[in-house]
Structure 1
Amino acid sequence: MTPIRFAVALAAGIALPLSAASADEGMWTFDAFPSAKVKAAYGFAPDQAWLDRVRLSSLRLTGGCSSSLVSGQGLVLTNHHCVRDCAQQISTGTADYIAGGFLAATLADERKCAGQQAEIVTAITDTTARVQKAIGTLTGAALAKARDGEVAAIEKEGCTDPATERCQVVTLFGGGQYKLYHYRKYTDVRLVYAPEADAAFFGGDPDNFNFPRYDLDAAFLRLYENGKPVATPAHLTWAARAPKEGELVFITGNPGSTQRLLTQAQMAFQRDVSLPALELYLSEMRGRLISAMAGDPEKTRTGQDLLFGIENSYKARYGQWQALLDPGFAGKLAQTEAELRAKVAADPATAQKIGDPWTDLAKLMVGYRDIYKPYNWLELRAGGFSDLYGDARAIVRAAQERAKPNAERLPEYQDSKLALLEKQLTDDKPVYPWLEEISIAYWLSKTREALTTDAPPVKALLGKESPEQVAHRLVTGTKLGDPKVRAALFSGGLAAVQASDDPLIRYVLAHDGDARAIKDRYRFEIEAPVTAAQSKLATARFAAFGTDLYPDATFTLRLSYGAVKGWTYQGVTVKPTTVFAGMYERATGADPFKLPPKVLAAEGRIDKTKVVDFTSDNDIIGGNSGSPILDAKGAVIGAVFDGNIHSLGGNFGFDGTLNRSVSVSTVAVEEALTKIYPAPRLLAELHAK
Structure 2
Amino acid sequence: GQPAKIDNFLKFNPQGPKDGELTFVSGSPGKTDRQLSLDELVDTRDRYLPYVLRMFNRREVLELSYSARSFENARKARDDLFGDQNNRKRYDGYLAGLLDPQTWSALTAREQKLRDAIARDPKLRSTTAAYDRIKNAQAEIAKNAPLYNYLEQERPITIGYRGPRALSGNLFKYARLLIRAVDERAKPNGERIPEFRDSARESLELELFSTEPNYDDYEILRLTDSLTDFASQFAANDPLVQKVLAGKSPHARAVELVAGTKLKDVAVRKDIYGKDAAALQAFHDPMIDLARLVDGPARDARKRYDAQEEIKKQAYSEIAKAHFAIEGASSYPDATFTLRLSYGTVRGYEQDGKQIPPFTDFAGLYQRSAEHDNKSPFDLPQRWIDKKANLNLATHFNFVSDADIIGGNSGSPVVNKANEFVGIIFDGNIQSLVLDCIFTDKQARAVSVDSAAIIEALRKVYGASGLADELESAK
TM-score (norm 1): 0.60
How far the C-alpha of 1:349 sits from its partner, in A, is: 1.0
Deviates more, 1:453-462 or 1:481-490: 481-490
Q: What do residues 622-674 of structure 1 show as CA deviations (whole Å, max 9, x unaligned)? A: 23334444556877554322212332221221113432110223553454455
Q: Counterparts of 1:335 and 1:551 in 2: how far apart (Å)?
A: 18
Q: Counterparts of 1:424 and 1:300 in 2: how far apart (Å)?
A: 23
Q: Is the 8 A contact 2:93 2:430 kept in 1?
A: no
Q: Counterparts of 1:267 and 1:599 in 2: how far apart (Å)?
A: 45
Q: Counterparts of 1:238 and 1:421 in 2: how far apart (Å)?
A: 42
Q: Counterparts of 1:676 and 1:432 in 2: how far apart (Å)?
A: 39
Q: Counterparts of 2:216 and 2:330 in 1: how far apart (Å)?
A: 51
Q: Counterparts of 1:679 and 1:486 in 2: how far apart (Å)?
A: 48
Q: Is the 8 A contact 1:612 1:667 kept in 2?
A: yes
Alignment match, 2:367: 585
Q: Is the 8 A contact 2:38 2:111 kept in 1?
A: yes
Q: Is the 8 A contact 2:13 2:420 kept in 1?
A: no
How far the C-alpha of 1:376 sits from its partner, in A, is: 1.6
Q: Counterparts of 1:640 and 1:503 in 2: how far apart (Å)?
A: 47
CA separation of 1:675 and 1:470: change in aligned 2, threshold 3 A = farther
Q: Is the 8 A contact 1:293 1:303 kept in 2?
A: yes
- In structure 1, stretches of 5+ residues that fail to align are 1-70, 73-231
Q: Is the 8 A contact 1:565 1:575 kept in 2?
A: no
Q: Counterparts of 1:466 and 1:666 in 2: how far apart (Å)?
A: 57
Alignment match, 2:131: 358
Aligned amino acid, residue 521 of structure 1: R
Note if 1:301 corresponds to 2:75.
yes
CA separation of 1:240 and 1:478: change in aligned 2, threshold 3 A = farther
Note if 1:322 corresponds to 2:96.
yes
How far the C-alpha of 1:482 sits from its partner, in A, is: 3.8
How far the C-alpha of 1:269 sits from its partner, in A, is: 0.9
Q: Counterparts of 2:442 and 2:148 in 1: how far apart (Å)?
A: 39
- Give the SS at the match of 1:639: strand
How far the C-alpha of 1:511 sits from its partner, in A, is: 2.2
How far the C-alpha of 1:678 sits from its partner, in A, is: 5.5
Alignment match, 1:248: 23
- In structure 2, stretches of 5+ residues that fail to align are 155-163
Note if 1:379 corresponds to 2:152.
yes
CA separation of 1:682 and 1:415: change in aligned 2, threshold 3 A = farther
How far the C-alpha of 1:489 sits from its partner, in A, is: 3.7
Q: What do residues 141-164 of structure 1 show as CA deviations (whole Å, max 9, x unaligned)? A: xxxxxxxxxxxxxxxxxxxxxxxx
Q: What do residues 311-347 of structure 1 show as CA deviations (whole Å, max 9, x unaligned)? A: 2222222222232233332222112111111001100
CA separation of 1:500 and 1:325: change in aligned 2, threshold 3 A = same
CA separation of 1:435 and 1:666: change in aligned 2, threshold 3 A = farther
Q: What do residues 605-624 of structure 1 show as CA deviations (whole Å, max 9, x unaligned)? A: 33434332122222112233
- Give the SS at the match of 2:331: coil
Alignment match, 2:247: 464
Residue correspondence of structure 1 range 539-688 to structure 2 within 5 A:
539-554=321-336, 556-569=337-350, 572-588=354-370, 589-591=373-375, 592-630=377-415, 637-669=422-454, 671-672=456-457, 675-677=460-462
Note if 1:441 corresponds to 2:441.
no
Alignment match, 1:28: none
Aligned amino acid, residue 196 of structure 2: Y
Aligned amino acid, residue 371 of structure 1: N
How far the C-alpha of 1:351 sits from its partner, in A, is: 0.7
Aligned amino acid, residue 26 of structure 2: I
Q: What do residues 154-204 of structure 1 show as CA deviations (whole Å, max 9, x unaligned)? A: xxxxxxxxxxxxxxxxxxxxxxxxxxxxxxxxxxxxxxxxxxxxxxxxxxx
- Give the SS at the match of 1:587: helix
CA separation of 1:508 and 1:542: change in aligned 2, threshold 3 A = same
Q: Is the 8 A contact 2:151 2:294 kept in 1?
A: no
CA separation of 1:495 and 1:361: change in aligned 2, threshold 3 A = same
Aligned amino acid, residue 332 of structure 2: Y
Q: Is the 8 A contact 1:275 1:321 kept in 2?
A: yes
Q: Counterparts of 1:486 and 1:684 in 2: how far apart (Å)?
A: 53
Out of 17, 34, 54, the position equivalent to 1:260 is 34
Aligned amino acid, residue 252 of structure 1: G
Q: Is the 8 A contact 1:239 1:636 kept in 2?
A: yes
Note if 1:277 corresponds to 2:51.
yes
Q: Counterparts of 1:404 and 1:688 in 2: how far apart (Å)?
A: 61
Q: What do residues 210-256 of structure 1 show as CA deviations (whole Å, max 9, x unaligned)? A: xxxxxxxxxxxxxxxxxxxxxx999966837342221432130342x
CA separation of 1:340 and 1:388: change in aligned 2, threshold 3 A = same
How far the C-alpha of 1:437 sits from its partner, in A, is: 1.9
Percent identical pairs in the alignment equals: 32
Q: Counterparts of 1:369 and 1:449 in 2: how far apart (Å)?
A: 19
Q: Is the 8 A contact 2:179 2:291 kept in 1?
A: yes
How far the C-alpha of 1:516 sits from its partner, in A, is: 1.0
Alignment match, 2:160: none
Q: Is the 8 A contact 2:224 2:254 kept in 1?
A: yes
How far the C-alpha of 1:514 sits from its partner, in A, is: 1.5
Q: Counterparts of 1:366 and 1:640 in 2: how far apart (Å)?
A: 38
Q: What do residues 76-132 of structure 1 show as CA deviations (whole Å, max 9, x unaligned)? A: xxxxxxxxxxxxxxxxxxxxxxxxxxxxxxxxxxxxxxxxxxxxxxxxxxxxxxxxx
Q: Is the 8 A contact 1:564 1:616 kept in 2?
A: yes
Note if 1:394 corresponds to 2:188.
no
TM-score (norm 2): 0.85
Q: Counterparts of 2:268 and 2:472 in 1: how far apart (Å)?
A: 45
Q: Counterparts of 1:595 and 1:240 in 2: how far apart (Å)?
A: 27
How far the C-alpha of 1:681 sits from its partner, in A, is: 11
Q: Is the 8 A contact 1:627 1:639 kept in 2?
A: yes
Q: Is the 8 A contact 1:422 1:490 kept in 2?
A: no
How far the C-alpha of 1:464 sits from its partner, in A, is: 0.8
Q: Counterparts of 1:395 and 1:548 in 2: how far apart (Å)?
A: 48
Alignment match, 1:333: 107
Q: What do residues 559-606 of structure 1 show as CA deviations (whole Å, max 9, x unaligned)? A: 232135012426754433322122123321243433232221121233
CA separation of 1:296 and 1:378: change in aligned 2, threshold 3 A = same
Note if 1:370 corresponds to 2:135.
no
